[in-house]
Structure 1
Amino acid sequence: MITYTSDLSTVTAEHLTGFFVGWPNAPRPETLLRLLQGSYRVVLALEGERVVGFANAVSDGVLSAYVPLLEVLPEYQGRGVGSQIVRRLARDLSHLYMVDVLCDEDVVPFYERLGLRRATGVMLRNYERQSGE
């Protein structure tokens, strides 16, 4: 049974393995834990103590937030886990004017099904720093 929480108090780096499939320079579990701990809001999907999915938001806490990551372990994809994470995170951020997600074109329909609207954006990426190290 999948449960959802924002509580990171019992999560360790060992609970955060298997994410970032296909990334050429993925963050290590220890880096991911630091990233989640430093976030404005986090939603975790758990099966027992195992983290099977997560999303995080960074925010000014007043007007805007950005959702940089949504990750679901491959064996849990297609089961509604990512949708539930996004819905819960959107609810947690509903007091803000704007919540932005910058994503690859192939996942835009996923977010549109959840009520987000397509927008134009720009980005700057330093792929040498993709791991967060």
Structure 2
Amino acid sequence: MIQFIYETTGITPSMVEGFFVDWPSHPDPTAHIQLLQQSSHIVLAVDEDVNQVVGFITAISDGVLSAYIPLLEVLPAYKNRGIGNELVERMKKQLSHLYMVDLGCDDDLVPYYKKHGMFQTNAMVLRNYGAQSGNITS
């Protein structure tokens, strides 16, 4: 059974293994826990039968006007079960008091987010691929 939770209490590094599949250099489970803990808002999908986090979404917010959703991930074996949709909707509810909620996505994901009431716009980004794993580099 999938349970949706809003905190990392009781979540261990072994429970968040297997994410960031297509990333050339990804956060290890300890860094993953840290990014969850330091996000303004999170929703985790936990498969209680195997005691494993199977999906998550994060947001960073000023708490006044805006938020940014940097990450939505569902483990490959759990895709196409509605988990990602539920994570997005629960996050939207948490952020519904804010003026703007932004996220960046690849072109192939635009239709997915449009189904959740978002619209396409332009964005500019910086990427430091040397820090993609969560390690600080100078």
Does the pair score TM above 0.5?
yes
Q: Equivalent residue of 2:60, what SS?
A: strand
Q: Equivalent residue of 2:56, what SS?
A: strand
| Backbone CA RMSD of aligned residues | 0.7
Shift of 1:116: 0.9
1:104 has 2:106 as partner:
yes
Measured against aligned partners, the alpha-carbon deviations of 1:12-42 in whole angstroms (never above 9, x if no partner) come to 1111100000100011010010000001000
Measured against aligned partners, the alpha-carbon deviations of 1:88-111 in whole angstroms (never above 9, x if no partner) come to 000000011000010111111111
Match of 1:67 in 2: 69
The structure 1 residue matched to 2:89, chosen from 83, 87, 90, is 87
Match of 1:26 in 2: 26
Q: Equivalent residue of 1:86, what SS?
A: helix
Q: 1:8 is matched by which residue type in structure 2?
A: T
Q: Structure 1: which 4+ aligned runs deviate by more than 6 Å?
A: none
Match of 2:43 in 1: 43
Match of 2:126 in 1: 124
- Give ranges in structure 1 of 5+ residues lacking alignment: none
Measured against aligned partners, the alpha-carbon deviations of 1:23-64 in whole angstroms (never above 9, x if no partner) come to 000110100100000010000001112100000000111110
Shift of 1:8: 1.1
Q: 1:25 is matched by which residue type in structure 2?
A: S
Shift of 1:80: 0.6
> TM-score, normalised on structure 2?
0.94
Q: 2:78 is matched by which residue type in structure 1?
A: Y
Distance in 1, matches of 2:26 and 2:110, equals: 22
- Give ranges in structure 2 of 5+ residues lacking alignment: none
Match of 2:59 in 1: 57
Match of 2:15 in 1: 15
Shift of 1:7: 2.2
Q: 2:57 is matched by which residue type in structure 1?
A: A
Distance in 2, matches of 1:104 and 1:14, equals: 29
